[in-house]
């Protein structure tokens, strides 16, 4: 069968031309240019009003200030200056991690700003008969503006009249133009995009400064990013641990005085101990992890309206997926002609082809092609039958066809065609219903074909339309099942067809003949059971369900109502991307959990480095705790502080790139994280601190 020409070139897995600045996280993560560009932002973040938002790093900042004052009072104390320098570097490295993450978003925002132009809009007058030119910034919600070929659309809105080809590459990075038309689910247009052909009238739906591009800029820059519930909870935990360690360190001073180890517990040493014991690693990287999660979505042309949505995607336990275009290819194609008894396949194929010559749908074109290729019928054209009367398909009749050469041919829904035959006193073959039921049960869509000629009205047979399941979908659903996620297919098909497709694709459940109310009820039912639900949609009728879902992904090609209701927008309008979004959300949560585990395990090793160094003089038996055999008390404390700063830098690529996600159960992931990051976090400091101690011992006066 020849390939039918799609209305739009298919997308590849990676956007053809992502907006400039949308770079993949990879080898160039710490390019000198990027570090230099981010360094001023990192230094600006030393402002206490900014630092106080991270309790852990605020304590490190206070400790840095205290040690600086003490070092200034005793300028000859090299140890004090060394500790002070590395404490300040710890704060700067933490800020640099966040600044690098934000820097990539700012590069994307700069590209988006270029799409914002001060346009002059052609606004229709109130009587609708004339036009007036006004600045784009002067438009208000409800205004009607005219856009023709070559015009830049001045604001966000919906097409209320006409159809046009629109270049949206400034927003999506996709060079192929898209069709925007009044009515239906492809009426939304975005300010800053360009009309390539024809004329449309747009009703403005957003105020200047609140347009989609403005929101995109705020989101990718991080200006609109707020801490998520999980981040807030982790912040509270880290603040609590910091307070506990602060109290513990404060009590060490009187204890040291009593034990005669006052000299070993100076304020500089206590500050170093506090910084090493509190979870500085995760405190430094927490914000960068969240920003990087949203950035990974932007790289895939998905805009998350909040960090909460990204986190919710990671906790999703139920996925609602449309059948057409998501699970299946979407364009049903003719697979076979099945005649009733007494009719030949050639006779059925000839009638089906004739009735489809005026049918410009993919299904209609596929019938013409199948009749030509499989049955050797010459491809006829509508122009050859100038005397024919073409019957267009309508939602009321649910049939189409042609009256030609004394024959009336109809094809369409089984019930409609059967009723048409009976109205003309014709007979319906006994096996017609059985054939349609068999095709429906196999997941296909039956189209009944009938004819009225000199022999009367009768059914000829059935055209089997098949909706092809996308390759690899069963494997992806198996992965989701291993992740503990339930998949539900939503379709308007009848239950028999829906069941067959669901079994072939491997989804867990399906909802047939779904209405907007059915979708909403299903989401509420799942949420009542304590589950988080994700779904995609593009139409106004999807808006209530998108708003109700915990993760609502609206298609950029959809209506303004759908985009306003969802908490994510897919600029590529690819429904299958919902599965990737869930994986990115889980990767974010796993990364945060893994680095938290690593950070807390780190503190154990640093405890074994510093505590023996502080109290060995007063309590020689504590020397047994110095299992690393460090060169001297000063070297032990300084090595721990240096390692504490450098480990932040070492983990920044992991925080930005994310821990690799592999579909598995929660128990399996927990064991893996504890084994890799728990044990790794315990062992790495022992090795790192010892290596730094060996290097410091080579410096005269330290070893």
Which of 156, 214, 235, 322 is labelled catalytic?
322
Q: Are 485 and 531 in contact (CB under 8 A)?
A: no
| Cα R_g (the chain), whole angstroms | 34
More confidently predicted of 223 and 616:
616
pLDDT at 72: 94
More confidently predicted of 571 and 343:
343
322 catalytically annotated? yes
pLDDT at 85: 95
620-625 average pLDDT score: 72
Model confidence at 1, pLDDT cuts 50, 70, 90, reads: very low
195-220 average pLDDT score: 79
Beta strands in 360-470 (DSSP E): 389-391, 399-404, 407-412, 444-453, 456-466
560-581 average pLDDT score: 80
Beta strands in 584-691 (DSSP E): none
Distance of alpha carbon 95 from alpha carbon 39, whole angstroms = 9
**Alpha-carbon torsion (176, 182, 186, 190), positive or negative:** positive
pLDDT at 701: 65
pLDDT at 304: 79
More confidently predicted of 292 and 44:
44
User: Residue 230 pLDDT more than 50?
Assistant: yes
H or E segment at 602?
Answer: helix 577-615
pLDDT at 71: 92
Cα 344 from chain centre: 52
List the binding residues for Mg(2+).
538, 542
Instruction: Give tens-digit pLDDT for 48-71.
Output: 988 988 889 999 999 999 999 999
List the binding residues.
359, 363, 393-400, 411, 538, 542
Please tell me what DSSP assigns to residue 331. Answer: -
pLDDT at 3: 30
503-518 average pLDDT score: 87
pLDDT at 608: 76
Of 351, 336, 356, 384, nearest in space to 455 by CA: 351
pLDDT at 14: 33
User: Residue 19 pLDDT more than 70?
Assistant: no
Model confidence at 691, pLDDT cuts 50, 70, 90, reads: very high
pLDDT at 28: 45
Render the burial of 367-401: b for 16+ CB within 10 Å, e for the rest.
bbbbbbeebebeeeeeeebeebeebebeeebebbb
Per this entry, what is the length of the chain?
Answer: 703
Distance of alpha carbon 526 from alpha carbon 202, whole angstroms = 38
User: In this predicted structure, which of 60-74, 121-135, 218-232, 258-272 has the lowest mean pLDDT?
Assistant: 218-232
pLDDT at 451: 93
Q: Are 409 and 380 in contact (CB under 8 A)?
A: no
pLDDT at 188: 81
User: Residue 483 pLDDT more than 60?
Assistant: yes
**What long-range pairs does 492-498 form, CB within 8 A, spacing at least 24?**
493/323, 493/445, 494/440, 496/437, 496/440, 496/441, 497/440, 497/443, 497/444, 497/445, 498/323
The percentage of residues in the chain with a pLDDT greater than 70, rounded to a whole number, is 84
pLDDT at 173: 61
pLDDT at 398: 81
pLDDT at 642: 94
602-616 average pLDDT score: 76
Instruction: Give tens-digit pLDDT for 89-141.
Output: 999 999 988 888 777 666 666 666 665 666 788 899 887 778 888 888 788 88
pTM to 2 decimal places: 0.66
CB neighbours of residue 587 within 10 Å? 21
pLDDT at 69: 94
User: Residue 8 pLDDT more than 50?
Assistant: no
545-558 average pLDDT score: 84
User: In this predicted structure, which of 197-201, 616-620, 688-692 has the lowest mean pLDDT?
Assistant: 616-620
User: Residue 674 pLDDT more than 90?
Assistant: no
pLDDT at 290: 81
pLDDT at 286: 86
Model confidence at 27, pLDDT cuts 50, 70, 90, reads: very low
Q: What are phi and psi of 510, to 5 degrees?
A: -145, 155
Q: Which two tokens stand for residue 370?
A: 């199948």
pLDDT at 64: 94
Please tell me what DSSP assigns to residue 483. Answer: T
pLDDT at 477: 86
User: Residue 7 pLDDT more than 90?
Assistant: no
User: Residue 223 pLDDT more than 70?
Assistant: no
Which residues share a beta bridge with 462?
A: 338, 448
pLDDT at 391: 85
More confidently predicted of 173 and 216:
216
pLDDT at 366: 84
162-181 average pLDDT score: 77
User: Residue 18 pLDDT more than 60?
Assistant: no
User: In this predicted structure, which of 80-94, 107-121, 417-431 has the lowest mean pLDDT?
Assistant: 107-121
Distance of alpha carbon 428 from alpha carbon 664, whole angstroms = 54
Q: Are 57 and 94 in contact (CB under 8 A)?
A: yes
Model confidence at 450, pLDDT cuts 50, 70, 90, reads: very high
253-268 average pLDDT score: 72
Instruction: Give tens-digit pLDDT for 308-361.
Output: 788 888 888 898 887 776 787 666 778 889 999 888 888 898 888 888 887 767
Q: Are 200 and 151 in contact (CB under 8 A)?
A: no
């Amino acid at each position: 069968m020849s390939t039918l020409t799609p209305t739009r070139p298919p997308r590849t897995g990676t956007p053809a031309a992502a907006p400039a600045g949308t770079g993949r996280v990879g080898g160039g993560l710490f390019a000198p240019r990027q570090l230099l560009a981010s360094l001023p932002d990192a230094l600006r973040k030393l402002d206490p009003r900014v630092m106080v938002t991270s309790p852990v790093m605020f304590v490190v900042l206070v400790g840095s200030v205290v040690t600086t004052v003490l070092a200034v009072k005793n300028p000859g104390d090299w140890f004090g200056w060394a500790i002070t320098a590395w404490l300040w570097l710890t704060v700067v490295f933490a800020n640099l991690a966040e600044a690098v993450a934000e820097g990539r978003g700012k590069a994307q925002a700069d590209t988006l700003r270029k799409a914002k132009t001060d346009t002059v809009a052609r606004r229709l007058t109130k009587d609708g008969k004339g036009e007036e030119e006004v600045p784009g910034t002067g438009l208000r919600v409800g205004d009607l503006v005219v856009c023709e070929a070559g015009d830049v659309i001045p604001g966000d809105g919906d097409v209320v009249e006409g159809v046009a080809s629109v270049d949206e590459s400034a927003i999506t990075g996709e060079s192929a133009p898209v069709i925007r038309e009044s009515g239906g689910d492809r009426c939304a247009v975005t300010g800053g995009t360009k009309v390539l052909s024809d004329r449309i009238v747009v009703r403005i739906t957003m105020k200047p400064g609140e347009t989609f591009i403005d929101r995109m800029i705020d989101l990718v820059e991080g200006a609109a990013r707020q801490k998520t519930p999980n981040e807030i909870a982790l912040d509270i935990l880290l603040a609590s641990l910091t307070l506990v360690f602060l109290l513990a360190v404060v009590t060490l001073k009187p204890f040291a005085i009593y034990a005669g180890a006052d000299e070993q517990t100076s304020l500089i040493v206590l500050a170093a101990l506090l910084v090493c014991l509190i979870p500085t690693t995760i405190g430094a990287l927490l914000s960068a992890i969240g920003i990087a999660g949203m950035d990974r979505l932007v790289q895939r042309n998905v805009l998350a309206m909040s960090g909460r949505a990204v986190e919710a995607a990671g906790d999703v336990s139920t996925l609602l997926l449309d059948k057409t275009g998501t699970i299946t290819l979407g364009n049903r194609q003719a697979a076979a002609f099945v005649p009733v008894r007494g009719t030949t396949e050639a006779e059925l194929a000839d009638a089906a082809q004739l009735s489809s010559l005026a049918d410009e749908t993919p299904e209609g074109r596929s019938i013409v092609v199948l009749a030509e290729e499989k049955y050797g019928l010459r491809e006829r054209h509508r122009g050859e039958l100038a005397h024919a009367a073409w019957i267009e398909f309508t939602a009321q009749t649910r049939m189409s066809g042609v009256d030609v050469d004394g024959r009336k041919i109809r094809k369409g829904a089984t019930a409609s065609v059967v009723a048409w035959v009976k109205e003309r006193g014709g007979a319906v073959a006994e096996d017609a219903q059985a054939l349609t039921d068999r095709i429906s049960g196999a997941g296909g869509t039956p189209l009944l074909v009938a004819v009225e000629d000199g022999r009367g009205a009768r059914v000829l047979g059935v055209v089997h339309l098949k909706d092809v399941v996308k390759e690899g979908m069963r494997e992806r659903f198996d992965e989701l099942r291993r992740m503990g996620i339930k998949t539900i297919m939503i379709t308007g098909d009848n239950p028999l067809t829906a069941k067959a497709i669901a079994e072939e694709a491997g989804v867990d459940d399906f909802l047939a003949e779904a209405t907007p109310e059915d979708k909403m009820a299903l989401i509420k039912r799942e949420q009542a059971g304590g589950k988080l639900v994700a779904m995609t949609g593009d139409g106004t009728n999807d808006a209530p369900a998108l708003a109700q879902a915990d993760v609502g992904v609206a298609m950029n090609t959809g209506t303004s109502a759908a985009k306003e209701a969802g908490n994510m927008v897919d600029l590529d309008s690819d429904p299958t991307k919902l599965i990737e979004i869930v994986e990115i959300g889980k990767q974010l949560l796993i990364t945060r959990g893994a680095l938290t585990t690593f950070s807390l395990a780190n503190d154990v090793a640093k405890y074994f480095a510093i505590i023996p160094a502080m109290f060995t003089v007063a309590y020689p038996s504590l020397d047994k705790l110095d299992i690393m055999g460090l060169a001297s008390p000063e070297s032990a404390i300084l090595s721990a502080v240096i390692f504490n700063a450098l480990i932040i830098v070492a983990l920044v690529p992991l925080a930005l790139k994310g821990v690799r996600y592999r579909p598995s159960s929660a128990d399996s992931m927990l064991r893996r994280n504890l084994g890799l990051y728990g044990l790794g976090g315990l062992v790495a400091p022992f090795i790192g601190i010892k290596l730094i101690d060996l290097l410091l011992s080579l410096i005269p006066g330290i070893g």
